[in-house]
Amino acid sequence: VVQNNHHYRISPFEKTFDFANALNYIPSDYLHEFNRLQNVDKIEISHHLAHAYSAIPFTDFDDSLVVVMDGMGDLFSSMVDIDESGTFDHDLGLKTERTIWLPKEMKTWKGYREAETVYLSRSREVKELILKRWTAENSPSELYNHGFENMDSLGAVYSRIASHIFGDWNACGKVMGLASWKGRWNVQGEEESEDEFVYFGGNLIDGKLEINRKELNSLKNSNEWKNVEIRGQYVKDAAKVQENLETTVLDMISGLKEMTNAENLILVGGVALNSTLNGRIVSESGFKKVYIPPHPGDEGIAIGCAMYGWNYLNKRNDSKSEKAKKSKKSVFSPYQGKEYSGEEIDEAIEEYKAWIDLKYCEKDEDLYVNV
């Protein structure tokens, strides 16, 4: 079993089940053998590693730059703690002399969580840690939403605006859509202007990214979407955070491409659900190929755990592993269904030819014209 829970380690938590259940802190279902699986080998992996493996095995890339961006990942303390609470695989062992580590000095009295992580992958495995940026837990994790709205990851700041506008930290897709109304939905009685303020900005790679907490903390009219009169202001808020995200990420990816000379790019993590940003990355970043899985957010963590386990087991049998690597011919995509052979297509046409008009096109150009 390969597993991840980025809020806290699973194995130490499971060891408290008997006591916690006796005090009615957890339901008795937690003790069921199908939940505990006590006689099964288990591996926990870090959150960003799970994100990476949710995409890498599905590509046809021999090597790639893997960019993970989300709200928050695992705790730094979970990775450096050496205990007897089970196997925990993480990426700190992949750190090299050129790894960008941010912040360079971490305050000992604060907790830190994964914010953005960048890997180099080869032969469908994570091989090197290129960048690791941590966000401090700026407010106690016991508070509302685990203190998420006050974290400094790109995803968390963007999510803060989602909470401000829609009262839902997970409404980031609505923020992205609302941003496109800039210039068409102005604040009542106010001319559209280019404000200087930013929610975040600066060179992330150089450690100069700044989060404008003063601006974030001074936002007015939170969670009042029903008030039509202030929706114009919400549009400005959405447009500005979207602009900040695009500028920061494009600058970061450009710098990483120059640093690594990578030709292929993989995007994962909740931020990779931002299709407006993705479109700009595909068209402007200069990579030969860009792959974003259909499950870039936390919905893909289970897949990442499964593929990490698949890779782990295949390492025990080199011949199977090599065969699996060679068998991958194209990037996996669920959007066009299964692949059909020419023979299957001909059989289907023959079965329904009385009801269809058919024209064969020898060249793609002819097909486009007919469509």
Domain-located, residue 369: no
Give the pLDDT confidence score for residue 314 in this predicted structure.
Answer: 82
**371 occurs within a structural domain:** no
Residue 343 is assigned to a structural domain of this protein? no
Q: Give the containing element (helix H, strand E) for 289.
A: strand 289-291
What distance lies between CA 258 and its chain's CA centroid?
22
Domain CATH for 120 = 3.30.420.40
Say if 355 falls within a structural domain: no
The encoded tokens of residue 167 equal 């009262």
Four-residue CA torsion sign, 85, 88, 93, 99: negative
Question: In the chain, how many domains are there?
Answer: 1
Tell me the mean pLDDT per 10 residues along the chain, length 371.
93 93 95 90 95 95 97 94 78 96 91 97 95 94 84 97 96 97 69 69 96 94 94 94 98 97 98 98 96 96 96 70 54 74 91 87 71 53
| 364 within domain boundaries | no
Does 55 reside within a domain?
A: yes
Residue range(s) defining the domain that contains residue 149: 2-327
pLDDT for res 83: 65
Question: Among 195, 190, 108, 200, which residue's Cα sits nearest to residue 151?
Answer: 200
With respect to residue 44, please indicate whether it lies within any of the assigned structural domains: yes
> Quick one: pLDDT at residue 268?
98
For residue 63, which phi and psi values (nearest 5 degrees)? -150, 155
Helical residues (DSSP H) of the chain, grouped into ranges:
10-14, 17-22, 33-36, 47-53, 76-80, 154-166, 172-179, 213-217, 231-260, 275-284, 301-314, 318-327, 342-352, 364-370
Residue 369 token pair: 């014209």
182 belongs to a structural domain: yes
Distance (Å, rounded) from C-alpha 324 to C-alpha 57?
Answer: 10
Query: Rounded CA gap, 325 and 335, in Å?
Result: 23
